[in-house]
Amino acid sequence: MIGSAQNLYFPPTTGSTWETLPPESLNWCPEKIDLLNNFLEDNNTKAFILLKDGKIVLESYFNGHTENAPWQWASAGKTITSFVTGIAQQEGFLSINDPTATYLGEGWTSCTASDELTITIEHQLTMTSGLNDGVSDPTCTSSSCLECIATPGSRWAYHNAPYTLLDPVIETATGSSLNDYTTQKLKTPTGMNGLFVSVQNNKVFFSTARSMARFGLLMLNQGNWNGNQILTDPDYFNQMITASQALNEAYGYLWWLNGTATYMLPGLQSVFNGPLFPLAPDDTYAAMGKDGQFLNVIPSENMVWIRMGEDPGNLPIPFLLNDQIWEYINDLECELSTTDVSQPQLQLTPNPAQERFTVTASKEMVSIEVFTAQHRLVKSQQTSGLDTTLKVTSLPPGLYFVKVYFADGTTRVQKLLVL
């Protein structure tokens, strides 16, 4: 057995029974839950579920959506493909080190035969195939659309076509359709529903929100469903959720990773400093798709949450919505009484700030980081004691997030407005 999270509940694989955990048991305030739900509804959300220890704490449906209605995962469904690729490998049908041409045949790209043979399944899983994502249609899987522009493994680029071609790799290797293999190896053992559906050049997974939550719970328990170790290869599981290459530290095997020093984003070759989600715990990893389809897994909190919905409409990068949801989750706790000192208290003064601001805390601090609203780290300072002053004269006016690390290992984040 790979290992498992502690004290997890698993819903039955049939029926609609799922134990709940009252929000008040976590000291979550009803009015703050209302604020979260209002934010979700205002941003075109269809479904939101938050699990703690496997139990449902929050579950809401908006804009006419229901518990039994399916919705697209978009690119968040890539993580299902990653998972079943690992199962196909553990069953001996393939090795991720195999050339993709072993399963798709010679000429699946427009590269030379020798160059084509250097592209492996692992390159497809890590978005490092070296194929040109700048073609007119990056979802096109015809050989004429697949041009070699870099040595595989030397360039990270979010490219749908090589990912989509993992589907026929799995089908050729296993002798089963992608839907049949996913049903047998993943859906039936966990009680998930859903189906991969052809949408133009892509195969998109559709399911209910609770099925997405089930998959998150399976991942939280390291591929083990209530004692049934579905993914038995610990090396592959760990590779899925750790940096798969040095180019984009925030990308595993089709999973997005928090807590890394740098990250890259789809459609760009730029490298950004700081974690992908400054407001989320560092060990968070996520499945993310177009229009804000999110599955967050947080081992340190024994937590999973999912959001399904339409384009929030007011964000240049829907990824930002994930961090905005975290802002509301982080604020769910009721105000602590003066006798409750289990959580460090934090104050930024003045706020708004012009030249400098002071961070005052109730517990010893060790470092402070300041991030822009676009997740870029702009200031980092080591400290000690209960108060520290930082200059902001070099920062353009705007909204920032101040993340404080405490000596006891906890962190807190607060907004700072710079004038």
Q: Which residues contact 339 (CB under 8 A, 6 or more apart)?
A: none
Q: How far apart are CA 275 and CA 372, in angstroms?
A: 11
pLDDT recorded at residue 415: 81
pLDDT recorded at residue 352: 86
pLDDT per residue as tens digits for the range 43-57: 999 999 999 999 999
Indicate if 380 and 330 belong to the same structural domain: no
Q: How far apart are CA 130 and CA 152, in angstroms?
A: 5
What is the average pLDDT across 262-277? 92
Indicate if 263 and 379 belong to the same structural domain: no
pLDDT recorded at residue 338: 37
- Round the average pLDDT of the chain to a whole number and report it: 93
6: pLDDT strictly greater than 70: no
337: pLDDT strictly greater than 50: no
We report the CATH number of the domain holding residue 68 as: 3.40.710.10
Indicate if 412 and 279 belong to the same structural domain: no
pLDDT per residue as tens digits for the range 121-143: 999 999 999 999 999 999 999 99
pLDDT recorded at residue 71: 98
341: pLDDT strictly greater than 50: no
Which of 85-99, 244-258, 357-371 has the lowest average pLDDT? 357-371
Report yes or no on 141 lying in a domain.
yes
Report yes or no on 139 lying in a domain.
yes
Indicate if 285 and 403 belong to the same structural domain: no
Tokens of 293: 């389809």
Of the three residues 285, 314, 335, the one that is the final residue of a domain is 335
pLDDT per residue as tens digits for the range 371-384: 886 567 899 999 98
Q: Give the pLDDT band of residue 169 (cuts 50, 70, 90).
A: very high
DSSP H/E element including 359: strand 356-361
Report yes or no on 340 lying in a domain.
no
Q: How far apart are CA 219 and CA 307, in angstroms?
A: 16
Contacts 24+ apart (CB under 8 A), 32-36: 32/328, 32/331, 32/332, 32/333, 32/334, 33/58, 33/332, 35/328, 35/331, 36/325, 36/328, 36/329, 36/332
Indicate if 168 and 69 belong to the same structural domain: yes
Indicate if 166 and 238 belong to the same structural domain: yes
CA neighbor of 221 nearest in space, from 278, 147, 298, 281: 298
Q: Which residues contact 270 (CB under 8 A, 6 or more apart)?
A: 264
pLDDT recorded at residue 397: 83
30: pLDDT strictly greater than 70: yes
What is the average pLDDT across 73-89? 97
Indicate if 147 and 64 belong to the same structural domain: yes
Report yes or no on 8 lying in a domain.
yes
Of the three residues 335, 362, 391, the one that is the final residue of a domain is 335
Q: How far apart are CA 109 and CA 146, in angstroms?
A: 5
Indicate if 282 and 357 belong to the same structural domain: no
Q: Which residues contact 307 (CB under 8 A, 6 or more apart)?
A: 40, 45, 47, 48, 292, 293, 294, 321, 322, 325
Report yes or no on 107 lying in a domain.
yes
pLDDT recorded at residue 1: 35
Indicate if 95 and 198 belong to the same structural domain: yes
Q: How many domains does the chain have?
A: 2
Report yes or no on 4 lying in a domain.
yes
We report the CATH number of the domain holding residue 386 as: 2.60.40.1220
Task: Please state the pTM of the whole predicted model.
Answer: 0.81
pLDDT recorded at residue 316: 55
Report yes or no on 341 lying in a domain.
no
pLDDT recorded at residue 314: 66
Q: Which domain holds residue 14?
A: 1-335
Q: 106: buried, middle or exposed (CB in 10 Å: 19+, 13-18, 0-12)?
A: exposed
Indicate if 284 and 350 belong to the same structural domain: no
> In DSSP terms, which residues pair with 48 in a beta bridge?
60, 307
Place of tokens 């700081």: 274
Indicate if 256 and 376 belong to the same structural domain: no
Of the three residues 335, 364, 390, the one that is the final residue of a domain is 335
pLDDT per residue as tens digits for the range 280-332: 999 999 999 999 999 999 999 999 999 999 999 866 567 889 999 999 999 99
Q: How far apart are CA 224 and CA 150, in angstroms?
A: 38
Report yes or no on 71 lying in a domain.
yes
Indicate if 294 and 397 belong to the same structural domain: no
225: pLDDT strictly greater than 80: yes
pLDDT recorded at residue 401: 82
